Amino acid sequence: MRGLICGPKCAACGIVLSAWGVIMLAMLGIFFTTHSAVLIHDVPVEDEDIHQDTNPPHRIYDLFGKVGYNCFIAAAIYAVVGAFSCCQMRLNKQKEYLVH
């Protein structure tokens, strides 16, 4: 079968992991863009970011936005991997249909 790269179990695993990755990273992206205080330890803040700025919250909010944007990019990559896994699952089902 042309385009078949992985088996049915690997494709199913890819779908499950991709679904979880999209949900988790989309939620993290939302929480980072809304400046959730719980996630401050996950933002790459250094002392220079706080002391050199006349208005420190804006610099930290920009860092929150950048991390949130990266989470949305990673969620999109997981969505692409999930779509690829779905295509692999369909190709495996077609192969199974053609064999029998």
Contact 86, 8 (CB under 8 A): no
Q: How many domains does the chain have?
A: 1
Q: Whose CA is closest to 84, among 26, 22, 18?
A: 18
Distance CA 64, CA 80 (A): 25
Residue 2 lies in a domain: no
Residue 12 lies in a domain: yes
Asked if residue 1 has pLDDT above 60, the reply is no
Query: Residue 49 has what pLDDT?
Result: 65
Residue 3 lies in a domain: no
pLDDT in tens, 9-42: 999 999 999 999 999 999 999 999 999 989 988 8
Residue 72 lies in a domain: yes
Domain boundaries, position 62:
8-99
Residue 47 lies in a domain: yes
Angle at CA 14, nearest 5°, toward 8 and 18? 150
Residue 1 lies in a domain: no
Residue 23 lies in a domain: yes
pLDDT in tens, 56-88: 688 889 999 999 999 999 999 999 999 999 999
Residue 62 lies in a domain: yes
